Structure 1
Amino acid sequence: MSQTTPSKPLPDPSPETRPYWDGLAEGRLMLQRCADCGSLRHYPQPMCAACNSMATNWVEASGEATVHSWTVAYHPFHAAFRAELPYVLVTADLPEGVRLLAQLRDATAEALRPGLKLRIGFEANEAGLTLPVLRLTGA
């Protein structure tokens, strides 16, 4: 019996998250900002956690980041990611005050340390969506 690899689960962009996905496709990380209190949030959410407002606008992130923490994935959370193992997931602090979780590219976990400077990159996947990735500033 042959095993077939299932398709990767894909995000389903909604009208509320469309600016985020459109920004990624243009090579920009867009962050939601509460139109009432000014709080930034990432990932896109329908309501502000600070004031419960539903009013939103969008601002572009600087593209800079620093390592907060990381993990190496040796087991896929979904069978479609098995061929990519192992991969490094980095939680990065952005100067805007939010965090980004993304895969590390062009480096290994041994190169990381808390506070290390990173830059945000963008990669299109086989489904035509662009996702953020993280790279060392010199890579």
Structure 2
Amino acid sequence: MAVDSQISRPIPDIEKNKLYGPYFQGLQNNKLLVQQCNKCEHVQWPARDFCNRCHDSKLGWKEIQQSGNVYTYSVMYRAFHPWYKDRLPYAVVAVELEEGIRMLGSYFGSDVESLECGMRMKASFDKVNEDVTVLTWIKDETK
């Protein structure tokens, strides 16, 4: 697969939504961070202004495990952006992590057609530039 290195990858606008700042900082440091309520200790994703369980607004951030099982996925055969054109097919994968949280990320493996629900995956941190790292998934062959 020939990849055009002249086309920039689309990246999230980190400045637009400060609520996700700690999450993106965690990715920069190869960590998965999710919110945790300081009152009831509930962990949640995606980030919110309050606890989804007790509705308290005092939330911190907790590092979680970086592996889990494919909950669902969708294989993409059309590129929504030119950067993806030479990476087809790829998958958008929802992985259910050990804490019960589900996180989305891309899977760019050449064996994308072999993905299955329940398959073990682990986080991979794709450093796009000096400010942005995005979450992708790779198969976890350790178990």
Is TM (by shorter chain) over 0.5?
A: yes
Distance 1:29 1:6, change over 3 A: closer
Deviation at 1:90, TM superposition (A): 0.7
Bigger mean CA offset, 25-34 vs 50-59: 50-59
Pairing 1:11–2:26 present: no
Distance 1:52 1:19, change over 3 A: same
C-alpha contact 1:88 1:108 (8 A) present in aligned 2: no
1:54 to 43, 46, 57: 57
Deviation at 1:62, TM superposition (A): 1.1
C-alpha contact 2:89 2:112 (8 A) present in aligned 1: no
Structure 1 SS opposite 2:26: helix
Pairing 1:36–2:42 present: no
Structure 1 SS opposite 2:24: helix
Distance 1:80 1:45, change over 3 A: farther
Unpaired runs of at least 5, structure 1: none
* Count of residue pairs brought into register by the alignment: 135
Q: Within 5 Å, give how 1:92-131 maps onto structure 2.
A: 92-126=95-129, 128-131=131-134
Cα distance in 2 between the residues matched to 1:123 and 1:87: 15
The amino acid of 1:111's aligned partner reads S
C-alpha contact 2:74 2:91 (8 A) present in aligned 1: yes
Cα distance in 1 between the residues matched to 2:123 and 2:11: 23
Cα distance in 2 between the residues matched to 1:45 and 1:81: 30
Unpaired runs of at least 5, structure 2: 1-6
